[in-house]
Amino acid sequence: MLKRTLIGLIRSHETTGEKAKDPALKTRYYKLSMDQVWDEVTNMFKKMNGYKLLHEVRSVGEIVVERRTVTGRTQDITLTLFAINPLKSAVDIYSASRGSLGDLGSNYRTILEIYKQLDKRLAAHKIDQ
């Protein structure tokens, strides 16, 4: 966690992906169609405190949400949903803080929180990579 805070002194964004060195930032896979995952993700954000659903572009699999941090900064979060096949989908997240200062690891923590909520909602469908 200290390393994340130190990185966060200079960096104000965080992203997940297939090749992420940190296991917590690896792409998540679910045994569900993209439409089912889409519905779960959008419904989840409607219930999560502090998050505001800004726009959804289903055709490109993009959901954009905004979050205000305790320090009053705004984070722009983009979730990208991919259909791997008709019964398997993937979710990646990019989170960036507005402003020029580093985020002290808050984008990292935001991504972990979103994945935790998603994994809880879709526990029966999660595919461990």
Give pLDDT tens digits for 58-92: 999 999 999 998 888 899 999 999 999 999 999 99
DSSP alpha helix (H) spans, 1-129: 2-10, 34-47, 106-121
pLDDT tier at 128 (50, 70, 90 boundaries)?
confident
Closest to 105 in 3D by CA, of 75, 63, 79: 75
Asked if pLDDT for residue 8 goes beyond 60, the answer is no
Closest to 120 in 3D by CA, of 22, 61, 43: 43
Q: CATH no. for residue 57?
A: 3.30.310.220
- Cross-strand partners of 90: 29, 82
Q: What range does the domain containing 11 cover?
A: 2-127
Helix (H) or strand (E) holding 94: strand 88-97
Q: What is the number of structural domains in the chain? A: 1
Q: Is the pTM of this model over 0.85?
A: yes
